[in-house]
Amino acid sequence: MDETSKAIGALALAAQQAALLRGALTSGFLTHLGAEIGVVDLARQTGIGPGRVRDICVALRAAGVLDSDNPDRYRLSVTYAPLLRDGADILFTNQLRNVAVRARLYEQMFTPDGPDRYGDLSDDDRAAIAAGSSAAPSTELARRALRDAVERIPAWGEALAAGDVRAVELGCGLGGHLLTLLQLHPRLTAVGVDLAADLLDRARADAEGLGVAGRVRFVAGDATAFTDPEPFDMVFWSQFFFPAASRVKTLANAFRLLRPGGLLVAPVLPAPAAGPVNPQIAMQTLLLQAWDVPAVTTGELSTELASAGFEPVEHGATVLARRP
Ligand SMILES: C[S@@+](CC[C@H](N)C(=O)[O-])C[C@H]1O[C@@H](n2cnc3c(N)ncnc32)[C@H](O)[C@@H]1O
């Protein structure tokens, strides 16, 4: 019994600490803790009473988020200090909000119908799930990560550097990926297509804020039926959210939308390693498959693409294929 309560206690504590960290990030509380600060000053700057500020700091210190040599003064710990650099706070806030929505969905796994569908979530919950699977395009962190990802795949980099490039993303969500890429490639123009019109409203507002609105259009509709008079050089397919029943039609449309020689680019879950199951991948797979989305590996995705007529180009964490 001791072992059981220890194990469940650890899970329960992690859930509470994640919630406290989520609040500390979303409220901006942590932005005051880049350099050491006293409890009284922190209370003045946040408008929270000094007693609660002290209690919060003690709990965040116990969670490893803060460091202190004096019970009245705190700063971010070495592990958490990078949160305040390059927009990492936005990335991790999105991740923790996503987890808060997923927590409810995992609880619903044990009903015959399974968890609420992505399309049935409230706008805010859907946006939280979408943001957790997206880049935060206003951040240096997102730009660096995408620049590095493109550099690792020469065929992708060469295609993007080929001059005026037209791209479409099927299932663009909040458009984090496209909006980041548009900032990195000034000669890129793009269209984002998604079923969720509420997400596209947010994507349009972000495009304005980032100064790329003149080069991107967001279209509400089904990726299986989207048409455009001009062919595209590149199709991005956010295949993680596409249920089994829509995949063959989506790929047939991606093929039609591309010019001959054009590239299809799709992310994929890492292949399972030998040994114990990776718990994060197991949780992700559970949710995807409950939504009828097959959690495909690189090899399985490549087979799907080959059946749709694409030729393989690259088989890493991002799969690339070419329309012959
Ligand atoms: C969350 S996202 C992708 C994130 C995106 N790559 C980014 O960087 O923000 C996946 C999207 O695919 C969309 N989707 C799934 N099936 C679709 C379909 N048949 N047509 C259009 N969009 C679809 C979902 O609505 C969902 O918003």
Q: Is residue 282 included in any domain, yes or no?
A: yes
Rounded distance between C-alpha atoms, residue 241 and residue 174, angstroms: 13
**For position 235, what pLDDT does the model report?**
98
Within a domain: 106: no
| Higher pLDDT, residue 1 or 298 | 298
Residue 107, in any domain of the structure:
no
pLDDT tens digits, one per residue of 254-265: 999 999 999 999
Q: How far is the CA of 304 from the centre of ligand 1 (A)?
A: 18
Dig out the tokens for 12 from the structure: 């329960």
Which of 126, 134, 194, when mutated, tests ligand 1's pocket best, judged by the most ligand atoms within 8 Å of its CB? 194
Q: Mean pLDDT throughout 115-137?
A: 95
- Domain-terminating residue out of 60, 83, 106: 83
Q: Are 59 and 20 in contact (CB under 8 A)?
A: yes
228 lines ligand 1 (CB under 6 A): no
| Residue 94 domain-assigned (yes or no) | no
Of 83, 107, 132, the residue at which a domain comes to its end is 83
Pair (146, 217) in one structural domain: yes
Rounded CA-CA distance 94/87 in Å is 11
Average pLDDT over residues 126-131: 97
Domain range enclosing 17: 2-83
Instruction: Please provide the DSSP assignment of 130-190 as one string.
Output: HHHTS--TTSHHHHHHHHHHHHH-HHHHHHHTSSSEEEEEET-TT-HHHHHHHHH-TTEEE
Share of the chain above pLDDT 70, in %: 100
Quick one: 157 and 306 in the same domain? Answer: yes
Angstrom distance (rounded) from CA 241 to CA 46: 39
- Tell me the C-alpha to C-alpha distance, in Å, between residue 308 and each of 176, 249, 300, 301, 322: 27, 9, 13, 11, 11
Q: 296 CB less than 6 Å from ligand 1?
A: no
CB distance 73 to 39 below 8 Å = yes
Q: Which residues are CB-contacts of 32 (< 8 A; sequence separation ≥ 6)?
A: 42, 45, 46
My answer on whether 76 and 146 are in the same domain is: no
Pocket test for ligand 1, best of 125, 242, 249, 257 (most atoms within 8 A of CB): 242
Same domain, 57 and 200: no
Q: What SS3 class is residue 280?
A: helix
Give, using CA atoms, the residue closest to atom 16 of ligand 1: 242
Confidence of residue 315 (pLDDT cuts 50, 70, 90): confident
> Which residue lies with its CA nearest to atom 27 of ligand 1?
173
pLDDT digits 0-9 by tens, 227-238? 999 999 999 999
pLDDT above 80: residue 1: no
**Cα 156 to Cα 265: distance, rounded to the nearest angstrom:** 8
**Domain total for the chain?**
2
CATH number of 148's domain: 3.40.50.150
Higher pLDDT, 81 or 299: 81
- Verify whether ligand 1 is closer than 6 Å to residue 222 (CB atom): yes
Q: What is the dihedral of CA 13, 16, 19, 21, to 10 degrees?
A: -50
Question: What residue's CA is closest to ligand 1, atom 11?
Answer: 171
Q: For 239-287, write each residue's pLDDT tens digit.
A: 989 999 999 999 999 999 999 999 999 999 877 777 788 899 999 999 9
> 101 in a domain, yes or no?
no
| Residue 293, domain member (yes or no) | yes
Other C-beta atoms closer than 10 Å to the C-beta of 4 total 8
Nearest to 90 by CA among 11, 157, 38, 145: 145
Q: How far apart are CA 136 and CA 157, in angstroms?
A: 21
Look up residue 163 and give its two tokens: 């001059």
CA of 173 to the centre of ligand 1 (A): 5
- What is the predicted pLDDT for the residue at 270? 75
Helix axes 2-26, 88-107, angle to 10 degrees: 130
- With the most atoms of ligand 1 within 8 angstroms of its CB, the residue from 98, 117, 227, 238 to mutate is 238
Please report the pLDDT score of residue 272 as a whole number. 72
Q: Which of 18, 51, 83 marks a domain boundary?
A: 83
CATH of the domain at 29: 1.10.10.10
**Per-residue pLDDT at 98:** 97
pLDDT band at 21; cut points 50, 70, 90: very high
Q: Is the CB of 266 under 6 A from ligand 1?
A: no
